[in-house]
Amino acid sequence: MTAFTYDNANGSRHFWALLLLGGALAALGLGAAHLMELQGHAITGMNNQVVWGLPHVFAIFMIVAASGVLNVATVASVFGQSDYKPGAPLSALLCLSLLAGGLMVLMLDLGRPDRILIAATHFNFRSVFAWNVLLYSGMAAIVLVYLGTMFERRFNQYTRAAGLAALVWRLVLTAGTGSIFGLLVARQAYGSALLAPLFIVLSLAWGLAVFLIVQHGLNALHGRRPDAALQPRLARLLGIFIAAALFLVAIQHLTSLYFARQSAFEAFILWQGGVYPLLFWLGYVLAGSLLPLGLLFWPRGDGNAPALLAASLLVVLGAGAWLYVFIIGGQAFPLEIFPGHLVSSSFGDGAVANYQARWPEWLLGLGGVGLALLLTTLGVRLFDVLPQDDGVAAVKGG
């Protein structure tokens, strides 16, 4: 068994800069939420038709990525791939940070964050939203236990069991997040059983991309080198996830095109909807999927750290584009209240909603990112999550 130790990078001169940046963004997000509570959502770009705006794009991305970022820890502890073990503590830490950041945005964007106590004590088990209250809190508890088994040598023997519990729970959590939309019959853009497995696959790609970006940043700040032997494996793994997600997105749209009642929406989202087709084809398909695949599987890009970082950044940008199209575009398209009949009114029934995100929404979304950055920075400083030997050695069979 190879000895393996971690450190917390106490000597990093960048700690205070990152702490201040994360704290400032989180404070701005809280300030924006307070302003929205005082003046109402009229100061945002949201309206009676688009009730989930840009903050939900940030929130859903962070929650879904929080599940997928556990890829590294899961592969190490559950599937016995010890080469991934050096990144396992950072993987779990990022899961907690992203989950906290996403839930902060989600709760503050709903307009009445004080009512979270009601949601936490009164459950309607026929509501997918009630399921997710349990799933999110359960995820945080399981990952905390998972981290504890990694840090405390006496509990190392339970790491595999905790990792297996985290794996099962995060799959259910991500399926539950997709089911929020999949079981929503009030918007014809959603209402598909494919959304649960689609969100699971998307989480694998987005979470691994976030992990690679953060790991690259920490390596650069602390003067560390990435594990050269592990980089090609991570590149191939990310490429597989990207390709699988692109395939399922294509299946989702082809399935919708098969049904006549969905043809108008698909025409809107894929080629007639202005900004939405542009974001879908250029943002998600080209920049967020095809270009990263080219970088990852280009003969000279396999294991190339700059190419892997560029691909990961593009995946995150593509995720934002896809979520904007999915969430905003799905609400902007007019709801077909009476099939076969044209409906119009002074409330905008039958018309495509106009939505443009305003600065309070941007600040709230970035506030969640700031909280995730703040918690990650503190976690790296307070706990031993960075391997001392650049991640070259790993515990065998631990």
Per-residue pLDDT band at 131 (split at 50, 70, 90): confident
Q: Is 86 left (phi over 0), alpha (psi -120 to 50) or beta?
A: alpha
pTM of whole model > 0.95? no
What residues does each domain of the chain span? Answer: 6-387
Per-residue pLDDT band at 394 (split at 50, 70, 90): very low
* 37, two tokens: 């509570």
Looking at 1.10.645.10, 2.40.40.20, 1.20.1630.10, 1.10.287.470, the CATH number of the domain 6-387 comes to: 1.20.1630.10
Average confidence score pLDDT of the chain: 86
Residue with tokens 């998600």: 284
- Of residues 111 and 215, more confidence is placed in 215
For residues 23-33, give the mean pLDDT.
96
Q: What is the dihedral of CA 226, 307, 79, 163, to 10 degrees?
A: 80
397 pLDDT above the threshold of 70: no
Bridge partners for 169 per DSSP:
none
Residue 81 is predicted with a pLDDT of 85
Residue 395 is predicted with a pLDDT of 36
- Residue pair 82/42 in contact (Cβ under 8 Å)? The answer is no
Q: Is 211 left (phi over 0), alpha (psi -120 to 50) or beta?
A: alpha
For residue 362, the Cα-to-chain-centroid distance in whole angstroms is 17
The letter for the amino acid at 91 is S
Neighbours of 164 (CB within 10 A): 15
398 pLDDT above the threshold of 90: no
Q: Is 43 left (phi over 0), alpha (psi -120 to 50) or beta?
A: alpha
